[in-house]
Structure 1
């Protein structure tokens, strides 16, 4: 049995190390930058909304703080029933760059978010060279848009998105959310990795910048119309067409309060973390094997192997398997320290639970497995069934 475990885990560990060891050469975190005259009016921002009244306020305020590089902010609402449009109209009274749009009824084959983004792209000014998609749960630090556009221009990126700093508050999410985030790190490496193949390209739709010309060539968001991870689907489609796509650390530029508590984190974030809409079936199952081998199994296997040794079953394969899994646990704790800057715990209750998040790893891997096999999805009052 110990030999079987070693055969299962050693190749996965080798793959993981090959990804993580590229971390020191990754692109450094982006810093806020001041705009310069050549950026005047070059960016259209699109914000898709559906019943976001409880959390869109900070986002609207932060968008108003962006400088003259922003030509317009198009908030595309999907007939919210909670007063979201009123908040947008109020923001528009203070900042004329805001414009409220209502998208048409959802066409067959489209998911709500990419449809709203597609509507915003179509309605945006052709005088803008860049289109920036922003989610309603985000807070943009001053200088974000300028930094993003200047980096894209200087380094030749056609699409550039940012990994945020996550705001965590409640005990359950403090324990679970970092373990779910780690599933992305294990599969795709850290944000800022610049050498991923097309099938390993990552993106984040919470802050997703694209050249307008590239979006036009791709048919807007139509290539991701039926995807629940439309950001990654669109980014990989663009990369396959020859676009240069980047995914950088934006923890100094962007904050996000995604979900309230562990239950919502499990239910809502888990719906898209598997990225099955953007990957071939073989890649999905390969990722599940890797996650099980290097993240899901080390804690239970360590306990089992220690019990075997205590019972006098300490053969060489058992000791080797135990050493391997203890090494994976040490690596996991080190990675927790590495991702700590990606979290804002200033509002957290029982912040110490963040440091116990490795104990949630088996649950996080289980969530990815369940999501990978799920076909019926509900989101914000809408029901979808994937073929």
Structure 2
């Protein structure tokens, strides 16, 4: 007796159920976006926030990227009390660029942190150094990465949003600057691994147990940082921004993640290879996530991002070859639906990319990034199994 139709039907039903459950999780998160806060826009200064902010910029050999950050911070208004660039003994001319800016804007100060202690990662160590050497009169501490390009009115805007929403900590998603064809194809697929796992930026009532954060622009009340011991709870984390944000949320403070594409830009990595190696190394967020949660997220990514393209091709081929089964058709319909959702999300995040720096006409590859999804999911799996041994010019034991 030929049981193949029964076997095929059972397999398709199983696949439909397990993949459908992942689709429901994603859809429930995306539905929250219907009432999210609109992207932040540059704002005029508010006299109530006079000298309210200390900006801390960690740096290590950033001479090729730091100038737009220094220029952008210099354009911020009187909310800024001081701008502390904490440099870890750069040897490439970074320090000279900071000193040149300090000569024209007295708010800038160049600090040199002590050698990295055992158990610390370089970035949280530099941020903590800046926090501990900041003016006690600053109500807010703003961490900004050296590869960002703050736009005029950024700090006024994020301060206003934090106060309106009642956040004790708020970070921003930026607008990405991509150049090479490989970046345009791969980077949006890697970004999508975050969008499938967590609430989208701008959610007014984010899930505080799995809140998202971005250290490229990370504003926190001074008293909150003091109460949680500064950056120490994220000392050894390679995703210190998310780790610290979740620790602060667990301590009972309100944490938000907003869309800042109109007020801050970032050029993170040079080329497809560096994007794969460096960003892919931290996107699993394993340092901020329990092992059970991590593998649950990997399952979800596999169901809703990694499999839809290959399964659509496979199932459509089966129907073309004459296989007839209602569960097979339903499974195919589900994967086509997931692909439509994926392309819809691509349209929704298109504003998060600055196309003026694209090499040639390579920006069109952004629209083909869903075909990089299986590789992006595979990269998260690879990263989840390994602890980084090198990061931003440092080697860790």
2:17 paired with 1:7: yes
Q: Distance in 2 between matches of 1:180 and 1:144?
A: 26
2:387 paired with 1:375: yes
How do 1:10-25 and structure 2 match up within 5 A? Answer: 10-25=20-35
* Structure 1 segments unaligned to the other structure (5+ residues): none
More displaced stretch, 188-197 vs 326-335 = 188-197
Residue aligning to 1:124: 134
2:352 paired with 1:342: yes
SS at 1:22 equivalent: helix
SS at 2:356 equivalent: coil
Residue aligning to 1:359: 371
Q: Distance in 2 between matches of 1:37 and 1:317?
A: 63
2:44 paired with 1:37: no
**Deviation of the 1:80 alpha carbon:** 0.9
Change (3 A) 1:346 1:309: same
SS at 1:204 equivalent: coil
Give RMSD over aligned pairs: 1.0
Q: Distance in 2 between matches of 1:21 and 1:359?
A: 24
SS at 1:198 equivalent: coil
* Structure 2 segments unaligned to the other structure (5+ residues): 1-10
1:98 aligns with one of 89, 108, 133: 108
**TM-score, normalised on structure 2?**
0.95
SS at 1:139 equivalent: strand
- Contact 1:27/1:192, CA 8 A, preserved across alignment: yes
- Contact 1:43/1:69, CA 8 A, preserved across alignment: yes
SS at 2:324 equivalent: coil
More displaced stretch, 190-199 vs 4-13 = 190-199
Q: Distance in 1 between matches of 2:45 and 2:51?
A: 11
- Contact 2:72/2:151, CA 8 A, preserved across alignment: yes
Q: Distance in 2 between matches of 1:377 and 1:5?
A: 38
Q: Distance in 2 between matches of 1:99 and 1:168?
A: 30
Q: How many residues align?
A: 385
How do 1:278-297 and structure 2 match up within 5 A? Answer: 278-297=288-307
2:148 paired with 1:143: no
**Deviation of the 1:168 alpha carbon:** 1.0
| 1:313-353 residue CA offsets vs partner (Å, 9 max, x unmatched) | 13111111100000001111111100001110112131111
Residue aligning to 1:247: 257
Q: Distance in 1 between matches of 2:143 and 2:117?
A: 21
Residue aligning to 1:60: 70
**Deviation of the 1:363 alpha carbon:** 0.5
| 1:157-182 residue CA offsets vs partner (Å, 9 max, x unmatched) | 10011100001111000000001111
Q: Distance in 1 between matches of 2:293 and 2:206?
A: 14
Q: Distance in 2 between matches of 1:199 and 1:7?
A: 27
Runs of 4+ off more than 2 Å: 194-199
Q: Distance in 1 between matches of 2:353 and 2:256?
A: 21
Q: Distance in 2 between matches of 1:335 and 1:224?
A: 31
Q: Distance in 2 between matches of 1:381 and 1:143?
A: 32
**TM-score, normalised on structure 1?**
0.98
| 1:238-293 residue CA offsets vs partner (Å, 9 max, x unmatched) | 00001110100001111011111110101110111111111111110000000000
**Deviation of the 1:197 alpha carbon:** 2.4
| 1:207-246 residue CA offsets vs partner (Å, 9 max, x unmatched) | 0000000001110100100001100100000000011101
- Contact 2:50/2:79, CA 8 A, preserved across alignment: yes
Q: Distance in 2 between matches of 1:88 and 1:8?
A: 54
Q: Distance in 2 between matches of 1:197 and 1:323?
A: 31
- Contact 2:125/2:235, CA 8 A, preserved across alignment: yes
